Amino acid sequence: MMETYSYLCIDLKSFYASVECVERGLDPMTANLAVADPDRGRGALCLAISPSMKALGVKNRCRVYQIPAHITYITAPPRMKRYIEYSADVYGVYLKYIAKEDIHVYSIDEAFLDVTQYLSLYQLTARELAVKIMADIRETTGMPAAAGIGTNLYLAKTALDLTAKHTKDRIGVLDEELYRQTLWNHRPLTDFWRVGEGTANRLARAGILTMGDIARAEEQMLYGMFGIDAELLIDHAWGRESATMADIKSYRPKSNSLSSGQMLLRDYSFEECRLLLKEMVDALCLELADQGLTAQNVSIAVGYSYTTGLKQSAGSVSMPDPANSYSDIMPCVLQLYERIVQRGKPIRRLNVTCSGIAKDEYRQYRLFTDAAELDREKKLQQAVLEIKRRYGKNALVRGMDLLETGTAMTRNRQIGGHKSGE
């Protein structure tokens, strides 16, 4: 007999906005507040808006200028470090009830909890346990939460996204039968987890508009459209999900990479962007060294101003040996940059990715490698990392970082591309 699972998917309501409300002694559910960087003007993206503003019709992730003029609200600059601290406090609440092996943190404000073995322990239903945890989150942090309850991970997430918002206690519950009864005719398809605009548009062209339509469609046709990805789509149409918490915990990616990217607030020239590239490679080299890793390959992607109508320039380069030092990686990356990027065209986006990641201890040197020089640079990197850990990322910077066009020092004060609040 197959085991029946019980999962919770808990989300912190309008997380960034709720934190800012709590910090100001305001009720996150009734106060009008938007989290946006005022330094970026009225075109700034609202990272979050409070539930009361959503109730007034304001769209999440809107631009400041899109908020109707008649709405009075507080603008709060983002403080990513503070949000991480609140998220950690919430995780601490989960640990009061559930072992870490049964918790999967999906994002800074959302987590899956496998409560299957805990319901009998606490003599509670899944809903009762959800209520208890949500109340503890509110008492501990001041944060309002919502929850989805499902017999698998997909249904828990779907219950959170689609049904919890329509209940007074902000808790949605789904099993496979209830899912088919209540959501097979739901539109649009993009409301469902992992169904993007591209997938929905392709299905629409085939006359498929709902999950019920997918369930009733010829599987051969779906596999012809989406290949192996059709398997997940079909399973989700029926409310099925084979992955368990144990599968998530045991998963190990086949390959790893480290990346860095930034959207530029103005047009940058070829020469200015070359400086940014140096800064980004320097930061990635330190990150590799800090984790005891090396990279075999580096890729760059450069996006131009939309006024040019140009596609991005992208390419990759392989180092002669796996490396994590600036002196080894940077010359290869600069050669690539000089070769693929169009001079004289305004640049608005830059991404750098290190791949072919491996443990530094497994590195093999060529016959003529200067081991002493590599050892010297390794010790220098460790000294730099120690200073940055102790005194902050901007405690020690390269001379290029002080140039007017550089962004490294600003980025060092950010988390996830947004102000840390420090």
Specify whether the backbone of 415 is left (phi greater than 0), alpha (psi in -120 to 50) or beta.
beta
Enumerate the CATH 3.30.1490.100 domain ranges in the chain, comma separated.
258-419
Please name the residue that has the structure tokens 């099925």: 240
CATH class (in words) of the domain with range 184-248: mainly alpha
| Residue 263 backbone dihedrals phi, psi, to 5 degrees | -90, 130
3-state DSSP helix/strand/coil % of the chain, to nearest 5: 50, 20, 30
Q: What is the pLDDT of residues 127-155, one digit of tens each?
A: 999 999 999 999 999 999 999 999 999 99
Fold for the domain defined by 258-419: Dna Ligase; domain 1 (3.30.1490)
Instruction: Note whether 373 and 281 are within 8 A (CB).
Output: no
| Residue 319 backbone dihedrals phi, psi, to 5 degrees | -75, 150
Q: What's the pLDDT band for 1 if we cut at 50, 70, 90? A: very low
Residue 346: helix, strand or coil by DSSP?
coil
Q: What is the pLDDT of residues 386-399, one digit of tens each?
A: 776 776 766 665 66
Exposed, middle or buried by CB within 10 Å (0-12, 13-18, 19+), for 405?
A: middle
For residue 120, what are the CA distances in angstroms to 36, 123, 365, 411? 45, 5, 57, 48
- Residue 356 makes CB contacts below 8 A (sequence gap 6+) with 255, 295, 296, 297, 318, 322
176: tokens are 């496979």
Cα separation of 9 and 60, whole Å? 20
Enumerate the CATH 1.10.150.20 domain ranges in the chain, comma separated.
184-248
Q: How many residues does the chain have?
A: 422
Cα separation of 334 and 240, whole Å? 49
For the cut 60, the answer to whether the pLDDT of residue 418 exceeds it is no
Q: What is the pLDDT of residues 306-336, one digit of tens each?
A: 889 999 999 999 988 888 888 889 999 999 9
- The confidence score (pLDDT) of residue 147 equals 98
Q: What is the pLDDT of residues 186-222, one digit of tens each?
A: 999 999 999 999 999 999 999 999 999 999 999 999 9
Handedness of CA 36, 37, 41, 44 (dihedral sign): negative
Residue 149: helix, strand or coil by DSSP?
strand
For the cut 80, the answer to whether the pLDDT of residue 420 exceeds it is no
CATH class (in words) of the domain with range 16-78: alpha beta
Enumerate the CATH 3.40.1170 domain ranges in the chain, comma separated.
16-78
Residue 26 CB neighbours (<10 A): 17
Q: What is the pLDDT of residues 230-287, one digit of tens each?
A: 999 999 999 999 999 999 988 776 668 888 888 888 899 999 999 999 988 988 998 8
370: tokens are 């200067």
Q: What is the pLDDT of residues 71-82, one digit of tens each?
A: 999 999 999 889
Over pLDDT 70: what percentage of the chain?
A: 86
Over pLDDT 90: what percentage of the chain?
A: 66
Q: What's the pLDDT band for 291 if we cut at 50, 70, 90? A: confident
For the cut 50, the answer to whether the pLDDT of residue 2 exceeds it is no
